[in-house]
A and B are shown apart, each in its own frame.
Chain A
Amino acid sequence: MNRVFQIAIFITLFLLNQQCRDAYQFDTVAEDGLLVVDGEINDLPGPYLLSLGLTNNANVRPDPLTGAFVAITDHLGNTENYVEIGGGKYQLQGYVVSGVAGGSYTLKITLPNGHYYESTKETIPTSPKLKDSTYFVVVNEATTSSEGETVNNWRVNVFLNTTFESAAPGYYRWSVEEYYSLFPTCPPGAISCPPICYIHQPISYYNLKVIDRKSFSGSYLKGIKLEGRDVDYSFATRHYFNVYQHSMNPGAYNYWSKVQQLVSKRGSIFDAPPYTISGNIHNPNNPNEIVLGYFEASGSKVTRLFIDRGYIHTFVQTCFMYLPDYIPNTYFCWDCTQIEGSSIVEPDWFWH
């Protein structure tokens, strides 16, 4: 009997170690051509950007929508037109209409086909900005891979401490982007080396942190993890984490908290059924038309934090390193401008 038990226990352990999830491909059929609006006006100096697109089931990013007429009207009745700068992007210079706390703004869009859309009136909140301090921790961290297995990686985790300087109500959102420089490979004897690139990218397409001041009793929040980033070549020189704090009005909070809920809780078997989030743009002539995205009026501030190779206690591969036995085989080491979000224009704060 003992042998039977031993075999059974072995089989149990063996089988239980199998994973319980598998990648799955849905055959979905989507409705193309939904208008997507993504723009912001804030209390920082302009210009302010706006993107227009049409959803495309075959592509991740919406198709850029060009040729639209976009204007903004503020609470004083001033109107300024956006200027199309290509790729479905439109820019507001802020000569006539600029973002100020307490100001209200309405966006008006006319598409090349004549369809007209407008946003609800959005107000930049006057709620006090929070005092942020950010820090990073470099860890060799065990994480669960996409295959469900435990793997160890060196990671840089970015944390936030913030202080509420008053009990005044307010809604806040943080987002993080990274900025790093890349020195391309320059073989010995080259007449000229390729230019240094400054690469600006979102770290994650799904991380954001949204809070409602009244949900917290204390005067500060400590140790909020904002992002985690695997260590790679991008840490060879300065690697910035720019943490944006947005103070939001209730409408924007409602929208972004729904986004946070939708994109952050996808693993529990008890998640609420998902849905498409409605924004604040509508077609007055067709109220049932689904318009995606949000035009936001917010108060903004940025906190920058940088790290370089000196803080990382592991080998960091670089493009710059050129050794006879080591030839970087990554294409962007030879031409770093091919990296998405890359520019050879140095941000004025980068080396200061």
Chain B
Amino acid sequence: MTDRTLLLFIFFLVVFTTLKGQEKVDLVVFGDSSKVGSVKQVVLTGTIVQADSKTPLGGASIFLDGLKYGNNSDYYGRYLIELPPGTYRLTVRYLGNIPIHKKISIFKNGVLHFEMVEKPKVLEEVIISARTSDENIKEISPGLVQLGIKEIKRIPALMGEVDVVKSLLLLPGITTVGEGSGGFNVRGGATDQNLVLMDNGQIFNSAHALGLFSNFNPDVTEEFTLYKGNIPAQYGGRASSVLNVRTRDGDFSKFHVKGGIGFLSGRAAVEGPIVKDKTSFLVGGRVSYSDWILKTVKNLDVQNSSASFYDFNANVTHRFSSGGNISLRYYQGHDYFRYSNQFGYDYTTQLLSLRWNALLGNNWGSTFTAAQGKYTSKLFDLDVTSAREFSNGVSYTQLKQNFLHTYKEVHALNLGVEANLYNSLPEKSQPYGSNSTTTAQQLKKSDGREFALYANEEYTVNSIFSFSAGLRYSYFQSLANDTVYLYQPGLSRSISTIIDTLHYSRGQVTQTYGGFEPRFSVRIGTGKNAAFKLAYNRNRQYIHLVSNTTAPTPTDIWQLSNSYFKPQIADNFSVGFFQNFKENKFEFSAEVFYKALTNIVDYKNSAQIILNRHLETDVLQGKGKYYGLELYVKKNTGYWRGWASYTFSRAFNQINGATAEDKVNNGNWYPSNYDKPHNFSLTASHYLGRHMTFAANLTYTTGRPITAIESYYYGNEISIPVYSERNKYRIPDYWRVDISVTVNSVFKKIDDNLVFSVYNFFGRRNAYSIYYQEIYGQQTLQAYKLSVLGSALPSITYNINF
């Protein structure tokens, strides 16, 4: 074959395939070209949804081929393009889905809906994210983390359980007190400074098994977003961050069953249509069965311990033909933990939420959310004669109406109103068992109402400059449930300084707080794939987790602001530079943050938290300053993928009250419990072949501050330790390596996989805390390093989807 013949063959091949491809492009006609007249612009609108689930696809792109002109769909999956009358070729793209090509002849305004189909699962599409590859550059706000559940499934997981919170801990600026502690800390903030939302309803305790897992079932979770830099005005009520977790709609066209089974827990989910293409359901649950592992441990107390949890999600969604939808979602999670015959916990979270999305014309959308949540916890003290059961909790009703106005891709205005009605459940102590001689006690708590009005505008001036500006006004009412004590001015609050007691009828307003919360962020493009961003936020927090321990416990008390608990106010500043390289193959970011807080909560020595009728005598409020630098590098494509993050940060508190008792460390700045200067993590995955993936994590953090024994003295022959100033020392540094191997398609014709993982691969005994214990006959206490997970934890999890 000569070169000319070869070229001719290639030419015809190209022409043939092009023509063949052209044949596949459907032609849709709007109007008549002869009746165009003087019309210069027409509008094409419609929705872009997932074909199977009918889930609206926000952020899908719709472009006119050859013109480099188009738009992205909004949160409701809607799009709008203005264009001159004519004939065009449209391409709709959404990551992980097969692109749709349409040829249109449009001579009047038209509506065109698209249903996108997921690409078959070939290797390169294992990661499916709702984000475009340069979203980190285009996004106005710094400090935004958005991940799909499929993305975090590649991270090696503890005991094979894919976990939202554990994946967040691999990102810069996010830490935890240690394994076995619930919650997470964002940029030095306390755990209660994070607003955790599941389908827009608040979750007060996001931990299962004392924090080893979170209560977001991966089979039910769609995606989650963490706002740690700029929090849009639509969200409020917490000082540091917002974690918004969205669960999935059920499939609108086909039935599916998913499941997984591991050493510690099993899970299953069923979904499908109730009315095809109109109404769907999704039911999922997890249950643990870990007691058999506890029985294998040598320690007698551990053998006699018990731990279990379950959670359950049920979602029903109905799509209206007008384009809106309504969904009703229910979540219940329960944990039980008993340590030998000494103590135990039992806590339950319930959340019922309703969401109604409606389209109001071409540019307006409405989302109404109603949620009813309840968190209850019990502590069992199993000491024979003083055995008791202590219970407390909080319930709330939340109503929120949000209106969204969008225009093309340049403007998005959120307007809304929100109300949270909190009801503190009484603290109760009751005898536990027939041998207990303790007396029953009950303490009523104050309730509260929090209201907010907000407006948030995101505006893209041009490809270089865009901004987000929001204003939220929040207002809080503290509602009496019993009595308010008055104290002698100028003296530390204590029982002995009470000068009067005011009695209120239930529901009477005793105190109000309120104020504006400006939110602002700016993006300045500094090149094709680079942007400089800065943000300022003010947040007010009216509900506080009263916890006199380093790690949050299930029985910690949620305390609403009242006459003595002032709202925590945070001013968050952040500046960041973001750059992508090699067609978004690599992402890089560097962010600096500074956070100034007032009215942070700390405690007097020996603070009594439980059943304290005058909690204000044991609680102190002061200032906090947290600052740091976050570096992040990510590789998005290729056989090797992953990211590395490093954070240098400091977190200091100052409690400097008027009297010596109202100071901590003589009123000097001291490291907060969450002060971990260095935090490094590396996550990488590698494709080992068509059916196999290898992944590994490396995590390093500086040990957290601790108060240690410095010497002893004797009182009545009791050896009494003398402790250092608060948080003067540190526990040893923490590092851990996890690995996993995922084998896909274990059985032919079944969508399944087998995950082998080893958490803490090197079996490092990382310190969770340092504690002291008596050694028989010795006059000093021996310090011990407690490791919650002191060995390598291998696991095998089998997942199936059909």
| A residues with CB within 8 A of B | 4-5, 8-9, 11-13, 15-26, 28-32, 34, 36, 38, 40, 51, 53, 55-57, 60-62, 142-144, 146, 148-150, 175, 177, 202, 204-208, 214-218, 220-224, 230, 258-259, 261-263, 266-277, 287-288, 292-294, 296
Contacts of A275 in B (CB 8 A): 605-606, 707, 723, 726
Among the interface residues A13, A53, A62, A148, which one has the most CB atoms of the partner chain B within 10 A? A148
The answer to whether A55 and B713 touch across the interface, beta carbons within 8 angstroms, is: yes
CA distance A30 to B788 in the complex (A): 29
What residues on A are CB-neighbors of B293 within 8 Å? 12, 16
Question: Contact between A53 and B713 (Cβ–Cβ < 8 Å)?
Answer: yes
Known: A12-B263, A287-B660. A276 touches B773 (CB 8 A): no
Selected from A12, A215, A223, A269, the residue in CB contact (under 8 A) with B788 is A269
B532-573 vs A, CB cutoff 8 Å, 1 = contact: the mask equals 000000000000000011110100000000000000000000
Q: How far is the CA of A224 from the CA of B385 in the complex (A)?
A: 7
Residues of A within 8 A of B181 (CB): 269
Select the residue from B722, B765, B772 with max chain A CB neighbours within 10 A.
B722
B765 near A20: Cβ-Cβ < 8 Å: yes
Kindly state whether residue B45 has any CB partner on chain A within 8 Å: no
Residues from chain A with Cβ under 8 Å of B603 in the complex: 272-273
Nearest CB of B to A206, in Å: 5
| Selected contact of A276 from candidates B298, B439, B723, CB within 8 Å | B723
- The answer to whether residues A205 and B551 also contact, given A23-B782, A230-B776 and a CB cut-off of 8 A, is no
CB-defined contacts of A293 to chain B, threshold 8 Å: 713, 715
> Residue of A at shortest CB range from B210?
A269
19 extra interface residue pairs, beta carbon distance < 8 Å, beyond A220-B437, A271-B549: A17-B298, A20-B788, A21-B785, A23-B782, A23-B784, A26-B729, A51-B714, A55-B711, A60-B779, A177-B717, A205-B717, A207-B718, A215-B439, A223-B384, A269-B788, A272-B549, A277-B605, A292-B713, A293-B713
Task: Kindly state the separation between the CA atoms of A57 and B780 in the bound complex, as whole angstroms.
Answer: 12
Of chain B, the residue at the smallest CB distance from A230 is B776
| Contact assessment for B300 and A15 in the assembled complex, using a CB-CB cutoff below 8 Å | no
| Contact status A262-B720, CB under 8 Å | yes
Which 5 residue pairs are nearest across A and B when measured between Cβ atoms?
A20-B790, A30-B710, A205-B719, A275-B605, A202-B717
- Note all chain A residues with C-beta closer than 8 A to B386: 215
> Which B residue sits closest to A12, measured CB to CB?
B794
What are 22 residue pairs bridging A and B, where the CB atoms are less than 8 Å apart in the complex?
Answer: A12-B263, A12-B293, A15-B792, A18-B790, A20-B788, A22-B787, A23-B783, A26-B709, A26-B770, A38-B713, A55-B711, A56-B711, A150-B299, A175-B717, A202-B717, A261-B606, A263-B781, A266-B781, A270-B553, A272-B606, A292-B713, A293-B713
Cβ–Cβ contact B780 & A16, under 8 A: no
- For B712, what are the chain A residues with a Cβ–Cβ distance below 8 Å? 55, 60-62
Contact indicator B779/A61 (Cβ below 8 Å):
yes
Report chain B residues within 8 Å CB of A18.
763, 790-791
CB contacts (< 8 Å) of B263 on chain A: these are 9, 12
Contact digits for B176-189, partner A, Cβ 8 Å, 1 yes 0 no: 00001100000000
* B708, CB-defined interface residue at 8 Å: yes
Given contacts A15-B792, A17-B298, contact A40 B710 (CB under 8 A): no
Q: Given A21-B790, A258-B606, does the pair A175, B716 have CB atoms closer than 8 Å?
A: yes
Report yes or no: A40 in contact with B716, Cβ–Cβ below 8 A: yes
Contacts of B778 in A (CB 8 A): 205
Instruction: Report the bound CA distance from A222 to B763 in whole Å.
Output: 45
* B9: interface (CB < 8 Å): no
Q: Is B500 an interface residue when CB atoms closer than 8 A count as contact?
A: no
Is B607 an interface residue when CB atoms closer than 8 A count as contact?
Answer: yes
Least Cβ–Cβ distance between A109 and chain B, in angstroms: 15
With A and B bound together, what is the CA distance between A143 and B553 in angstroms?
Answer: 27
B398 to chain A, nearest CB (A): 29
B38 within 8 A of A: no
A217 — which chain B residues lie within 8 A by C-beta? Answer: 431, 437-439
Inter-subunit contact A15/B791 (CB<8 Å): yes
CA distance A73 to B20 in the complex (A): 110
Beta-carbon contacts under 8 Å, B332-389 to A: 339, 343, 384-386
B603-615 interface code vs A (CB 8 A; 1 in, 0 out): 1011100000000
Which residue of B549, B756, B774, B784 is within 8 Å of A21 (Cβ)?
A: B784
B96 to chain A, nearest CB (A): 31
Are B774 and A15 in contact, CB atoms less than 8 angstroms apart? Answer: no
User: Which chain A positions have C-beta within 8 A of B548?
Assistant: 272-273
Cβ-neighbour of B180 out of A207, A266, A269 (below 8 A): A269
Q: Given the known inter-chain contacts A8-B756, A21-B785, A276-B722, please indicate yes or no for A142 contacting B605, CB distance below 8 A.
A: no
Residue from A214, A230, A268 having most chain B Cβ neighbours under 10 A: A268
When chains A and B are docked, how far (Å) is the Cα of A149 from the Cα of B437?
Answer: 33
If A24-B770, A274-B721, A293-B715 touch, whether A216 touches B438 (CB-CB below 8 Å) is yes
Q: How far is the CB of A137 from chain B (nearest CB, A)?
A: 14
CB distance from A297 to the nearest CB of B (A): 13
Residue of B nearest to A279 (CB): B715
Does A266 lie within 8 Å of B773, measured CB to CB? yes
Minimum Cβ distance to chain B for residue A333 (Å):
18
A113 CA / B721 CA spacing, docked (Å):
26
Q: Is B789 an interface residue (CB 8 A)?
A: yes
Determine the chain B residues whose CB is within 8 A of the CB of A15 once the complex forms: 763, 791-794
- With A8-B756, A19-B298, A36-B714 known as contacts, the answer to whether A269 contacts B437 (CB < 8 A) is no
Return the chain B residue nearest A294 by Cβ.
B715
Q: Are B438 and A215 in contact (CB under 8 A)?
A: yes
> How far apart are B117's CB and chain A's nearest CB, in angstroms?
34
The answer to the question of B786 belonging to the interface, with a C-beta cut-off of 8 Å to chain A, is yes
B723 adjacent to A269 (CB under 8 Å): no
Q: Quick one: which of B603, B782, B784, B793 has the most chain A CB within 10 A? A: B784
Which A residues lie within 8 Å of B780 (CB)?
Answer: 60
Report the separation of the CA atoms of residues A24 and B796 in the bound assembly, to the nearest whole angstrom. Answer: 34
Q: Are A16 and B297 in contact (CB under 8 A)?
A: yes
Inter-chain CA distance A43–B710, complex, in Å, is 35
A221 nearest in chain B by CB position: B385
Given contacts A15-B794, A60-B779, A275-B605, contact A20 B787 (CB under 8 A): yes
Interface centre among A18, A149, A214, A224 (most CB of B within 10 A): A18
In the docked arrangement, what's the CA distance between A84 and B184, Å?
A: 57
In whole angstroms, how far apart are the Cα atoms of A267 and B298 in the complex?
Answer: 17
Select the residue from B343, B666, B786 with max chain A CB neighbours within 10 A: B786
Q: Assess the B716–A270 pair: CB atoms within 8 A.
A: no
The residue among A16, A150, A270 with the most chain B CB atoms within 10 A of its own CB is A270
Which chain B positions have C-beta within 8 A of A221? 385, 437
Cβ-defined partner of A223 (8 Å) among B385, B715, B723, B726:
B385
B135 CB-CB contact with A under 8 Å:
no
- Known contacts A62-B714, A146-B773, A275-B605; is-contact A22 B784 (Cβ 8 Å): yes
Task: Write the chain A residue with the least CB distance to B714.
Answer: A38
Q: Which of the listed residues A208, A266, A269 has the most CB atoms from chain B within 10 Å of its own CB?
A: A269
CA A42 – CA B296 in complex, angstroms?
52
Q: Who on chain A is nearest to B602 by CB?
A: A273
Query: Which of A16, A148, A175, A223 meets B296, CB within 8 Å?
Result: A16
Residue of B whose beta carbon sits closest to that of A204:
B774
Does B795 touch A at the CB level, under 8 Å? yes
Partner of B718 from A175, A218, A230 at Cβ < 8 Å: A175
- Quick check: is B16 within 8 A (CB to CB) of the other chain? no
A266 to B775, CA, bound (A): 12
By a CB distance below 8 angstroms, the chain B residues around A20 are: 765, 786-791
Please report the C-alpha to C-alpha distance between residue A270 and residue B385 in the assembled complex, in whole angstroms.
Answer: 22
Closest A-chain residue to B605, C-beta based?
Answer: A275
B716 engages A38 (CB within 8 Å)? yes
Kindly report which residue of chain A lies nearest to residue B726, judged by CB atoms.
Answer: A273
Task: Say if the beta carbon of B771 comes within 8 Å of chain A.
Answer: yes
Q: Identify the closest chain B residue to A219 (Cβ).
A: B437
B791: chain A residues at CB < 8 Å are 15-16, 18, 20
